[in-house]
Structure 1
Amino acid sequence: MELRQLEYFVAVTEESGFTRAAARLHVAQPGVSAQIRQLERELGQPLFDRSARQVRLTEVGEAVLPYARAALAAVAATRLVVDEMTGLLRGHVVMGAVSAPSVLDLPGLLADFHERHPAVEISLRETDPESLIEALRAGRMDLGLLGIGSSVPAGLDAQVVIDQALVAAVGLTHDLAGKPAGGLADASAGTPAVGVAHDSAGTPTITLRELADRALICLPRGTGLRAALDEACAAAGFTAHVAFEASEPYVLGQLAAKGLGVAVLPESAVAAAQEELHVLEIAEPGLRGQMALVWRSTGSSGPAARAFIAHARRRLPDFG
Structure 2
Amino acid sequence: MDLQQMRYVLAVAETASFTRAAEQCHVVQSALSHQVARLEKELGARLFERTSRRVRLTTAGEAFLPAARQALDAAERARAEVAAATGEIRGRLAVGSIPTVAAVDLPAALQEYRLRYPHVRISLRTGSSERLVEQVRDGLLDAAFLGVQPGFRPQGVQDRELAHGEHVAVVAPGHPLAEEHEVGLDRLADEVFVDFADGSAARAQSDEAFAAAGLRREVAFEVSGVELMARMVRHGLGIALLPAAFAADLHDLRTVRVTNGPVRVERLVWTRFTPSPAASAFLALLDVGRP
Shared fold per TM-score greater than 0.5: yes
| TM-score, normalising length: structure 1 | 0.69
Distance 1:25 1:143, change over 3 A: farther
Pick closer, same or farther for the CA change 1:17–1:57 going to 2, 3 Å: farther
Distance 1:35-1:240 versus aligned 2 partners, 3 A rule: same
The 1-side partners of 2:62 and 2:166 are apart by: 53
Q: Distance in 1 between matches of 2:66 and 2:243?
A: 48
One-letter amino acid of the structure 1 residue matched with residue 21 of structure 2: A
Paired amino acid for 1:304: A
Aligned partner of 1:282: which letter? V
1:250-289, aligned counterparts within 5 Å?
252-268=229-245, 269-274=247-252, 277=254, 279-283=255-259, 285-289=260-264
Q: How far did residue 85 of structure 1 move?
A: 2.5
When the two chains are superposed, the root-mean-square deviation of aligned CA atoms in Å is: 3.9
| CA separation of 1:28 and 1:107: change in aligned 2, threshold 3 A | farther
Residue 82 of structure 1 aligns to a residue whose secondary structure is: helix
Q: Distance in 2 between matches of 1:177 and 1:63?
A: 56
Give the Cα separation in 2 of the matches to 1:20 and 1:147. 41
Contact 2:129 2:148 in 1 (8 A): no
Does residue 210 of the first structure (1) align with residue 180 of the second (2)? no
CA–CA distance in 2 between the matches of 1:66 and 1:125? 20
Contact 1:205–1:282 (CA<8 Å) still a contact in 2? yes
TM-score, normalised to structure 2's length? 0.75
Distance in 2, Cα, partners of 1:44 & 1:136: 31
Cα 1:36–1:240 shift into 2, 3 Å: same
2:164 aligned partner: 163
Q: How far is 1:38 from its partner?
A: 3.9
1:203-261 CA-to-partner distances (Å, cap 9, x unmatched) read 73222133223212334446554222111112122333212344444654553344333
The 3-state SS of whatever aligns with 2:5 is helix
- Do the aligned residues in 2 keep the contact of 1:49 with 1:55 (CA within 8 Å)? yes
How far 1:171 moved relative to its partner?
3.8
Partner of 1:306: 280
Greater C-alpha radius of gyration: 1
Q: Is the 8 A contact 1:16 1:56 kept in 2?
A: no
Matched letter for residue 294 of structure 1: V
- CA–CA distance in 2 between the matches of 1:307 and 1:154? 23
- Superposed CA deviations along residues 4-61 of structure 1, whole A, max 9, x for unmatched, are 124434x2686494549928964457243232234456x4955435367633265xx8
The alignment partner of 2:158 has SS state of: strand
Which shifted more, 84-93 or 45-54? Answer: 45-54
CA distance, structure 2, for counterparts of residue 23 and residue 93 of structure 1: 25
Cα distance in 2 for partners of 1:47, 1:167 equals 56
SS at match of 2:56: coil
> Contact between 1:228 and 1:287, CA under 8 Å: does it hold in 2?
yes
Partners of 2:108 and 2:198 lie apart in 1 by: 29
1:265 aligned counterpart, secondary structure: strand
Shift of 1:71: 6.2
Q: How does 1:123-272 map to 2 (within 5 A)?
A: 123-150=123-150, 151-178=152-179, 204-221=181-198, 224-249=201-226, 252-268=229-245, 269-272=247-250
Matches within 5 A, 1:8-47: 8-9=8-9, 11=10, 15=14, 17-19=16-18, 22=21, 26-27=25-26, 30=29, 31-40=31-40, 43=42, 45=44, 47=46
Aligned-pair CA distance for 1:305: 2.1
Q: Which runs of 5+ in 1 are unaligned?
A: 179-202, 315-320
How far apart, in 1, do the equivalents of 2:66 and 2:240 lie?
A: 52
Distance 1:167 1:22, change over 3 A: same
Quickly say closer, same or farther: Cα 1:35–1:216, change in 2 above 3 A: same
| Structure 2 counterpart SS, 1:272 | coil
- Per-residue Cα deviation, 1:181-217 (whole angstroms, up to 9, x for no partner): xxxxxxxxxxxxxxxxxxxxxx732221332232123
Q: Distance in 1 between matches of 2:23 and 2:194?
A: 38
- Work out whether residues 253 and 265 of structure 1, in 8 Å CA contact, stay in contact via their aligned partners in 2: no
Letter in 2 for 1:292: R
Larger mean Cα displacement after TM superposition, 132-141 or 24-33: 24-33
Q: What residue is the counterpart of 1:200 in the other structure?
A: none
* Counterpart Cα distance in 2 of 1:250 and 1:216: 15
Return 103-112 or 227-236, whichever deviates more.
Answer: 103-112
Q: Which one is further off, 110-119 or 47-56?
A: 47-56
Runs of 4+ that moved beyond 6 A: 61-71
- How far apart are 1:78 and its partner, in Å? 4.2
Give me the identity figure in percent: 32
